Structure 1
Amino acid sequence: MRFGRQMLDHWWLDRDATYLNHGTVGVTPRRVLDAQQAMREQIERHPARFLLRELMSLAPQAPAEPTRVRAAASRVAAFVGAAGDDLVFVDNASAGVNSVLRSLRLQAGDEIVLFDHAYGAVSRTAAFVAREHGARVVTLTLPFPLADASLPQRLLEPVLNARTRLVILDHVTSETALVLPLAQLAALCRAHGVPVLADGAHAPGAIPLDIPSLGVDWYVANMHKWAFAPRGCGLLWAAPGRRDGLHPPVISWGLDVGWHQEFDWTGTRDPTPFLCAPDGIDFITGFLGESTMHDYKHALARRAAQRLASLWGQPWETPDAMTGCMVTLPLPARLAHGDAAAAVRLKDWLLDERRIEVPVISRGDRLFVRVSAQVYNDDDDIERLAQAIDDAR
């Protein structure tokens, strides 16, 4: 199969635009949207029967046949190397993070540890929960750009102590696009008796994934980014022994019945993003080819980084093992310095004047650009971005 801009036939994306921002909110393929609409029509033929009898069950015992949401969870779980019973759906990774953090039993003086690459919503949730209990957040500064894959582990080990109640680790960092050595970091935490919450918002469909092998206690992710589910589909995986006391952000009729019952029904909402997540998986495995897709996106991301770094006079030293299908690199020297407002101005200029959608990020006083490589992108998209940056003032 030939990837590149001809693949745009499978999405509703504007063909006159250059879309290098798949990672932010995802882009759902047409065939998955068609499946979602068909599912919505099926629901509307008898909403009460579908939602209250077929979708889920609030009974303490498992029904004879899997409910629709449990069947979908089993399909998604298999895609990420897990068992269906170990996984529940949430609206997004942030909801999963809230579920775990707000279920913690913290005391004054306890610590939550994370890196300064953590997603803003995650760090804010950690700060909120710590504040409510008199605990504190310990934020580790991880330099970026990063050329040493062992540095996160060396920074983390000295802060693990008797007060550490949780470490939050990104699998793929949001702004800086680093694939962190999650299994090694989790093993370090486990050796110190510290549980790990992994934020895998950008992982399913972006990198090969086997959640149980990572050795974490909880794993949250989005299926609507790189795994092509309709928007509003996240997952929460919990290791055996880590489900008691775990509650969704919205408490409803399933309280204390079981963790499936609590998460499967949090009130009336549109369940089609969850139920159509298997259609996104089928698009990957049955149409694109999972390994072929991964190889293409990774190679394109690496070429983009090397090409832009060379043009902009910025060294690209990120190890291959820490590169997935997004890359973040510094802008050329004449555009390199600026605050968040400068980042927004350049991002808006690229869209308004060059019809290029790509995040511009401010870290410290430096500006970076994050490029997402999807199967509908190719090297010509990278060249258009290079020319636009060359024209920017």
Structure 2
Amino acid sequence: MDFTPSSLTSEYQRRVAEFIDREIAPVEAQHLAELRDRENPWVVLPIIDELKEKARSQGLWNFFLPPAYASEKGRELGGPGFTNAEYAPLAELMGRHVIAPEIFNCNAPDTGNAEVLIHYGSAQQKEEWLQPLLDGQIRSAFCMTEPDVASSDATNMTATAVIEGDEVVINGRKWFSTGIGHPRCRFVIFMGLTDADADRHSRHSMVIVPVGTPGMTVDRMLSVFGYFDEPYGHGEVSFTNVRVPVTNIIAGPGRGFEIAQGRLGPGRIHHCMRLIGLAERTLEIGLERATTRTAFGKPLANLGGNRERIARARIAINQARLHVLYTAWLLDTAGAFGALSELSQIKAVVPQMAQDVVDMVIQWHGAGGLTEDHPLAGAYAAARSLRLADGPDEVHLGVVSRIELAKARAHGRNSK
């Protein structure tokens, strides 16, 4: 394997970095402060649309699109289409700033929902929902986790999507539905139980539910360590006898788990690389603090074990990056099943690494690090929440250990 970027990917890395430094970094803090100060923060401020238009006009758009799809649809959708390994460094750059992913139309959960529709959606679903999503005209949400069951085991899901004639009747309650608070959220992908008697991995379906369908209610927006992540947000959503056409089922009844596995592979690469970008920016902020702030007659960098902590942070970030790049390469070459262990490995390792780096830099900032005067508290909330999103650490470690034990048993049989 060779992680040296091609001339094309190097060009895009340069262009994205320059756009972020020139257009996004100078306005982000003011933008976030303005949102916080508004009585209603669930709005799109003009600067976001201005930056999105600039990015798209420069071809800095939809980097996550698979090469085959991007090639089929042409450059009007944005970039040339990158493999997971090629996209990873771009995701890292975007992870350095909260608003950057949306500016390039690469924010979660829209990227995952778009990929679901690309790979599994019908022609009608692509025309009605995918195209506006890729154009940046609308946003979306993903409704999977439930408050009343342990959603770390997805087979526990009790919300239902029952077929009645030419309709699907949806009932249940979901929460931490990321993106539901966005004023332009126009549809959710709902995962629900369709056939309780089927094989445990063939019981559920994914269904497109337009926002505003009768019976669908956003009950409340949920905070994470006091942050609401406006204007995207994480909501609790109830569905009471919600009816949509059976044509809104994605790929067919009972294929929910199959779709989920296809969706989560690239999504974990994206999440992890964005977190590495967050960790890099946080370490830069920390080094500035540690070399300019003095206590007891010394720079903070020279106090206690801070030099060793700096070294270990650098090593941890570099290790995490190489781990994710290897996993991205494996996903490109061997598919999701061939990268199953590695996808769980990075999901367990990278959020913990980022959390540790942010925690260290908060400590160097003292009480100020806990406030909104610095981006550190928000960074900590993001890193800590990713130890639960897309499956908690324990689930991923369980996958890794199960695969390792299976290999050990196979080796034992083969050696006899």
Give the alignment's TM-score, normalised by structure 2: 0.26
Of structures 1 and 2, the one with the larger relative CO (CA 8 A, separation 6+) is 1
| Larger fraction in helix | 2
